[in-house]
Amino acid sequence: MAKVVYKFGDDISTDIIYPGRFMATVLPTETPQYAFADNQDLNSKLVNGQIEKGSIIIAGKNFGCGSSREQAVSTIKGHELVIIAKNFARIFLQNSVNLGLNTITCPDIEAEINDEIVITETKVINKTQGREFDLIPHPPARQAIIDAGGLINYTRKKLMEKI
C-alpha cells in the first residue's frame, strides 16, 4: 500500500516535471534534484527525502505532454515515484517504459492527497475511499521492460541469458 503525495490535473507538461532551464543536467543521478522545480513545496519534499519511495502522484489526462525530454522521466524515476494518470502523452509513456518508471493508466481514477492506494494487475484500489478502478495494463513486452528496470537492463538480461 502506498500513499498519494500529490495530485495534478490535466496536461502536465514535461516543462512542469523538469523545467527546460535545467536541460544542461542530463545524468539520471543528477536530474532528481530538479523534479517539479517550480513547485517549491513538492520539490522541497522530494529533495529533502520527505516523500517515501513508491509514493504515488495522481494526474489527469495527457500527463507528460510537451517535449520529448527523457529527463522528465529520469527526474521522477530518481525518486522512485509511481504515476497514476487517466492517460499519458505517447512519448512520455515510451520514455517511461525505456527508463523503467512505474506508470499506471487508470482512466477513471479518483484519489486525493493522503489516500492509501493498492495496485493489482487489473485494479487500482483506493482503500481510503473504499473504491476500485480498472487500470489499462501495459502490454506484456512493455511490462517486462519496466519490471527489468528499463530497456538497458532488459537488454542486458536478455543478452546474459544467451551466454
How is the chain split into domains, by residue range? Answer: 2-137
Average predicted confidence (pLDDT) for the chain:
96
**CA distance linking residue 61 with residue 51, whole number of Å:** 24
**Which pLDDT belongs to residue 66?**
93
Mean local confidence (pLDDT), 81-102: 98
Phi/psi region, residue 78 (left: phi>0; alpha: psi -120 to 50; beta: rest), is alpha
Using the predicted structure, report yes or no on whether residue 27 has a pLDDT greater than 80. yes
Q: Return the H-helix or E-strand segment holding 6.
A: strand 2-7
Using the predicted structure, report yes or no on whether residue 163 has a pLDDT greater than 80. no
Model-wide pTM > 0.75: yes
**CA distance linking residue 64 with residue 159, whole number of Å:** 31
Those residues whose C-beta lies under 8 Å from the C-beta of residue 86, and which sit 6 or more positions away, are 10, 59, 60, 61, 63, 105, 106, 107, 108, 109
Task: Please write the tens of the pLDDT for every residue from 44-78.
Answer: 999 999 999 999 999 999 999 998 889 999 999 99
Task: Please write the tens of the pLDDT for every residue from 133-151.
Answer: 999 999 999 999 999 999 9
**CA distance linking residue 135 with residue 123, whole number of Å:** 5
**Which pLDDT belongs to residue 89?**
98
Side chain identity at 52, as an amino acid letter? E
Query: Do 68 and 91 form a contact (C-beta atoms < 8 A)?
Result: yes
CATH level 3 topology of 2-137: Aconitase; domain 4 (3.20.19)
